[in-house]
C-alpha cells in the first residue's frame, strides 16, 4: 500500500465524499423538512433548504400523536428487554464458551435455527397464547410492559448468546483458570473476572437488544395498545386515513432516533467490536 499520487488522492477523496453524500443526504432532507411549513412541504417545489423556517412541527408533533408517551413506553420496554437479555445471555454464553456438555451442539444449532424462523410465525400464536394466559390464569400479558419485555427479550436472546459467546471465546481461558486457582468459585470467576473483561461484548449485546426493542413493529402492532404503544408504531400515525403530517413526522423521527444515536456515539467502539465478533465468529 504505497503512497497515493496526487491524482489518486483526488479520486480517493472524491469517492469518500460521494459515499458520505449518499449516506447523509436523506438525513439532510429529514432535518430540513422538519423545519418546513405544511404549505411548503405540500408544495410542488421540494427543496433542500426550508424557505420559511418554522418550529411548528416540533410544537405540534406531540399533539397530533402522543409521541412523548410512546417514547417513554419504548424506553421502558427496550431498557427492560436489554437488562433481561444481557443477564440471560451472559450466563448462557459463559456456559457454552467454557464448558463441554452433552447437547451443546444441539443447543447451538437450536439457537442458530431460531434466527431462521420468520417473526410472523410467532405473532399469531403469541396473540392466541396471551389471550389464553389472560383467560385461564388471569395474568394480563397483552398491552403490558412485562408482556412486551418478555417478547422482545426472547427474540433478542439467541443472537445475543451467539454474539457474546464468540466474544467470550476471545477471552483466554487461562484467566478463569487462574481465578479458580486463586480460590474463586465459578460464579465469582464469572462476575469478578470475566464480566469486566467482556464489557465491550456485553455492551454490544445490550445495545443490540435495545435497538431491537426500539425498532420492532410487527409484534407491537398486535400486542400493544395506546398505554404501551412503542414509538416506532407511533411514527406511523402521522400519515393515516385522516392525516398527512410529513413535517411533524420528520420531527418525531429525529426525536426517536436520538437515544440510539446517543448510545451509538458513546459506545461506538464497543458496538463495532461486538458486531464484528458476532459476525465473523458466530
Partner 1 sequence: MKRSLILLTVVSLLMLAATAGATEIDFWAMTNAPSDQHYAWMNEKAAEFEAETGIKVNFEEIGWGEIMTRAANAIITGEGAHVFQLGTTQNPYFAGTGGLVEIDIDEFGGADSFFEANLESTTLNGKNYGIPWFAETRALFYNTEMLKKAGVEPPNTYLELVEVGQKIVEVYGKGTAIATAGTNAWDLIHNWAIILWAYGGDMLNPDNTAAAFNSEAGVKAMNYWVNLVATGLADEACAEYNQPQADAAFINGDAAMCFMGPWNIAGIEADNPDLPYDIVQPPAGPFGRASFSGGSNLVIRSNASKDEIKAAKAWVEFLLRPDILADYTKNLSKFLPSNKEALEDPYYETGVWATFVKTLGYATAYPPLVEWGEIEGTVQTNFGNVLADYVDGKYDQNSAQNYLDTAAAEVNEILGN
Partner 2 sequence: MKKYRSLAYLFILPAVVAMIFVHIVPMAWGIMISFRDLNVFNIRDWTTAPFVGLDNYKKGFNPVTTIGQRFWQSVYNNLVFGFFTISIGFVIAMGVALLLNQPFYGRTFVRGLILIPYITPDVVVYNFWRFIFQARIGIFNEMLLKLGIIQERVIWLVGSNTIWTAIIAAIWKGWPFGALILLAGLQTIPTELYEAAKIDGANWWQRFRYVTIPFLQPVIKTLMIMNILWNFHAYNQFRVLFGDDPGRYAEVPSTLIMREAFNFFRYGLGSALSVILMLIMLAITLIYLSLFKVRVVE
Binding to partner 2 (CB under 8 A) within 166-185 occurs at: none
Least Å from the CB of residue 282 to partner 2: 6
Report what 237 binds from partner 1, partner 2, none; CB cut-off 5-8 Å by kind: partner 1
Q: Which of 7, 48, 49, 225 binds partner 2 (CB under 8 A)?
A: 48
8 Å CB contact between 190 and 216: no
Q: Is 91 exposed, middle or buried (0-12, 13-18, 19+ CB in 10 A)?
A: middle
In this complex, which beta carbon is closest to partner 1, that of residue 197 or of residue 233? 233
Interface contacts to partner 1, rule CB under 8 A: 37-39, 42-44, 62-66, 131, 134-135, 140, 142-143, 221-222, 225-227, 236-237, 239-244
Rounded CA separation 222/217 (Å): 9
Helices (H), the chain: 6-34, 38-41, 56-64, 67-98, 104-114, 120-137, 145-169, 173-181, 186-188, 195-197, 199-215, 218-223, 231-235, 246-281
- For 243-276, give the DSSP string: -B-HHHHHHHHHHHHHHHHHHHHHHHHHHHHHHH
- Does residue 70 touch partner 2 according to CB under 8 A? no
Residue whose entry in the numeric block shows the C-alpha cell 398505554: 227
Least Å from the CB of residue 55 to partner 2: 19
Output DSSP code: residue 189.
I
- Does residue 246 touch partner 2 according to CB under 8 A? yes
Binding flags for partner 2, 136-155, as an x/- string (CB under 8 A) = --------------xx-xxx
Least Å from the CB of residue 120 to partner 2: 5
Residue 241 CB: number of other CB atoms within 10 A? Answer: 5
Q: Provide the β-strand partners of residue 239.
A: 244
Least Å from the CB of residue 22 to partner 1: 25
Least Å from the CB of residue 41 to partner 1: 8
Q: Provide the β-strand partners of residue 244.
A: 239
In this complex, which beta carbon is closest to partner 2, that of residue 110 or of residue 226? 110
Rounded CA separation 160/187 (Å): 20
Residue count at the site for partner 2 (CB under 8 A)? 102
- Does residue 242 touch partner 2 according to CB under 8 A? no
Report what 64 binds from partner 2, partner 1, none; CB cut-off 5-8 Å by kind: partner 1
**Torsions phi, psi of 239, nearest 5?**
-120, 100
Report what 54 binds from partner 2, partner 1, none; CB cut-off 5-8 Å by kind: none
Amino acid at each position: 500500500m504505497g503512497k497515493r499520487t496526487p491524482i489518486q488522492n483526488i479520486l480517493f477523496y472524491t469517492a469518500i465524499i460521494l459515499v458520505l453524500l449518499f449516506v447523509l443526504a436523506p438525513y439532510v432532507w429529514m432535518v430540513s423538512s422538519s423545519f418546513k411549513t405544511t404549505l411548503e412541504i405540500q408544495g410542488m417545489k421540494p427543496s433542500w433548504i426550508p424557505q420559511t423556517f418554522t418550529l411548528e412541527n416540533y410544537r405540534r408533533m406531540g399533539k397530533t400523536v402522543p409521541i412523548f408517551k410512546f417514547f417513554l413506553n419504548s424506553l421502558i420496554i427496550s431498557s427492560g428487554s436489554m437488562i433481561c437479555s444481557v443477564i440471560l445471555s451472559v450466563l448462557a454464553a459463559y456456559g457454552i464458551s467454557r464448558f463441554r456438555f452433552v447437547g451443546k451442539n444441539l443447543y447451538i444449532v437450536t439457537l442458530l435455527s431460531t434466527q431462521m424462523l420468520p417473526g410472523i410465525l410467532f405473532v399469531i400464536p403469541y396473540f392466541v397464547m396471551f389471550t389464553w394466559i389472560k383467560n385461564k390464569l388471569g395474568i394480563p400479558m397483552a398491552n403490558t410492559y412485562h408482556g412486551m419485555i418478555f417478547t422482545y427479550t426472547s427474540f433478542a436472546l439467541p443472537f445475543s448468546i451467539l454474539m457474546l459467546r464468540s466474544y467470550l471465546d476471545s477471552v483466554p481461558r487461562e484467566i478463569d483458570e487462574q481465578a479458580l486457582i486463586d480460590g474463586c468459585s465459578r460464579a465469582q470467576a464469572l462476575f469478578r473476572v470475566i464480566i469486566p473483561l467482556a464489557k465491550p461484548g456485553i455492551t454490544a449485546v445490550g445495545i443490540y437488544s435495545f435497538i431491537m426493542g426500539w425498532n420492532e413493529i410487527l409484534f407491537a402492532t398486535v400486542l400493544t395498545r395506546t398505554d404501551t404503544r412503542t414509538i416506532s408504531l407511533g411514527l406511523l400515525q402521522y400519515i393515516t386515513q385522516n392525516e398527512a403530517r410529513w413535517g411533524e413526522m420528520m420531527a418525531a423521527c429525529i426525536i426517536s432516533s436520538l437515544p440510539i444515536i446517543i448510545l451509538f456515539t458513546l459506545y461506538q467502539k464497543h458496538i463495532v467490536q461486538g458486531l464484528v465478533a458476532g459476525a465473523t465468529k458466530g
